[in-house]
């Protein structure tokens, strides 16, 4: 039957983990009442600048995402790198700032760029909250933090490749 009763297609243990982590993240990220926060969407309303894979466009997009992630702009720098054999670290501490390295090859799709920056900024916010970086669930926690911060749509869209129509 095509139409059946709606149900969650996640394992119960994942659902339990989300239910446990969600209020903890909201508190640790100091989000207050989530109903007062925007869900950032990939629309001209939220991203009015024209996209092109140029340094200027990337810097503008970086500033916009930093603002939406509620990170102080003067704390972070964008580092554009040539493609490397090994994946660059998510964050690099430089004095009192953090460098967010992004490979130039990842700049073709602005959704992917926003997803990458969102995860890196989520990690920074989690670090600020005193998170233990040795947690086994750190990648999942970063993704969930993106959702709490209102940027989760980009991570979901970047994870699903475009299907030709």
Report the predicted TM-score, pTM, of the whole model to 2 decimal places.
0.87
Residue 100 and residue 121 in contact, taking contact as beta carbons nearer than 8 Å: yes
Across-strand partners of 102? 80
165 residues of the chain, pLDDT tens digit each: 556 676 667 888 988 998 998 888 888 888 777 677 789 999 999 999 888 878 888 999 999 999 999 999 999 999 998 887 888 888 999 899 999 998 888 888 899 999 999 999 999 999 999 988 898 999 999 999 999 999 999 998 887 655 554
* pLDDT score for 4: 65
Domain ranges (residues) in the chain: 12-156
Residue that has been written with the tokens 């939406």 in this structure: 68
Decide the pairing of beta strands 76-81 and 97-103: parallel
Q: How far apart are CA 27 and CA 134, in angstroms?
A: 20
Query: Encoding tokens for residue 56?
Result: 């200027």
* pLDDT score for 106: 83
Q: Is 77 helix (H, G, I), strand (E, B) or coil?
A: strand
Return the DSSP state at 101: E
Helices (H), 10-109: 12-28, 55-68
Which DSSP helix (H) or strand (E) runs through 119? helix 110-128
Q: How far apart are CA 108 and CA 21, in angstroms?
A: 33
* pLDDT score for 165: 47
Residue that has been written with the tokens 């933090």 in this structure: 145
């Amino acid at each position: 039957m095509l139409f059946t009763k709606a149900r969650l297609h996640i394992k119960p243990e994942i659902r339990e983990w989300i239910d446990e982590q969600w209020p903890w993240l909201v508190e640790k990220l100091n989000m207050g009442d989530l109903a007062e926060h925007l869900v950032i969407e990939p629309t001209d309303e939220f991203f009015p600048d024209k996209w092109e894979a140029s340094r200027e466009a990337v810097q503008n997009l970086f500033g916009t995402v930093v603002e939406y992630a509620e990170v102080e702009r003067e704390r972070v720098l964008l580092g554009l790198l040539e493609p490397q054999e090994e994946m660059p670290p998510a964050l690099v501490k430089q004095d009192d700032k953090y460098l967010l390295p992004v490979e130039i090859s990842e700049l073709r799709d602005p959704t992917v760029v926003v997803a990458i920056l969102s995860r890196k900024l989520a990690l920074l916010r989690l670090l600020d909250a005193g998170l233990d970086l040795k947690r086994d669930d750190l990648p999942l926690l970063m993704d969930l933090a993106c959702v709490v911060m209102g940027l989760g749509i980009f991570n979901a869209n970047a994870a699903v490749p475009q299907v030709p129509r």
